[in-house]
A and B are shown apart, each in its own frame.
Chain A
């Protein structure tokens, strides 16, 4: 089966990852990719690793061609204002911004500080994290991309939430610089950014809303700190459980949740140097590594998840969702295992 795909806003890091993965996808023919600032130039001008892999040139958004799958990589708050225009050009829309992640217009207003321009579509959009919404993704026409930090939190916590083990969570998130996107600022200036440990969101991170929507309502506090990585997210969630749990019980819960998931691996080894999830070995991969531990003194559960923010936390989950929606093999184009060492 051959599927046509186009990308609106393909010059950013997420667009680059979509191009890298879709160019190697066995079922995808990329028809067009837009960048207003780079229109007419080859895609390797923005994504140098793709040199020699494609003759595609960036075009302007007005020349995006009708496609089976249309990926939107516009800044937050942009896609929803023009969504009907894009829906006329794509059978299945996958919007990687935050515009369609929340189902409730009230929640959107509360977390994003503005009224949603297309609230009627929020209930139609399917959250594009297959581990949470696989069945709803089949034949979906409007798919929302995921928040990278939300993805790490959801996958770390889902087995505990589904089994009623969560009383309260404090999630400590460490992230790489690519989360901030391609646009630079004073904060990303090398002398300021290099070797810093900057807690840029001590409380109130917007991705909290995606976690609660996906896993149910519980007290969740999130703190996000940038670390010396380019790619990667590590969620360390400190869970106060509703009852004592043993590590052996957690093994069963996590195996039950993820044994059949093609991209979630349990990493919890007693020996060696790779005992718990580490985003470093996931660069370029659509895998999510989850792990856990129990503090025998306090009963606290430590639930971890590592991902590549640009892949499982963005482009990879979007393509995995597209595969499901269009009836393609779910893992098509996504089997790259990551780099080591890197």
Chain B
């Protein structure tokens, strides 16, 4: 694993590397490329994420 790859932030759910096309902003919501979970940027220095609040879907309830 390269140093550049190793420093990328990872998804708290599936450990996939998270990348941005431009510098992320606090509060920005993005989808993990692996598990598609919605992640909210909670800080930018250093870059941290939390699971974004979501509306639960009714799947077979």
Contact = CB atoms under 8 A, between A and B. Distances in A.
A251 B32 CA distance: 13
Interface in A250-281: 251-252, 266, 268-272
Contact of A269 (B15, B36, B54): B36
B38 A271 contact: yes
Contacts of A269: 35-37
Nearest to A266: B34
Interface in B28-52: 31-32, 34-38
Contacts of A251: 14-16, 34-35
Sorting the interface of chain A by its residue count into under 10, 10 to 19, 20 to 34 or 35 or more gives 10 to 19
Contacts of A270: 13, 32, 35-38
Contacts of A248: 13-15
Contacts, number: 30
Nearest to A269: B36
A247 interface: yes
Interface in A89-137: none
A252 B16 CA distance: 9
Interface string A211-251: 00000000000000000000000000000000000011001
A271 B37 CA distance: 6
22 contacts: A247-B13, A247-B14, A251-B16, A251-B34, A251-B35, A252-B15, A266-B34, A268-B14, A268-B34, A268-B35, A269-B35, A269-B36, A269-B37, A270-B13, A270-B32, A270-B35, A270-B36, A270-B38, A271-B37, A271-B38, A271-B54, A272-B36
Interface of A: 247-248, 251-252, 266, 268-272
Which 6 pairs, one residue from A and one from B, show the smallest C-beta to C-beta distance? A269-B36, A270-B37, A251-B14, A271-B36, A270-B35, A248-B15
Given A268-B35, A271-B36, 4 more contacts: A247-B13, A266-B34, A269-B36, A270-B38
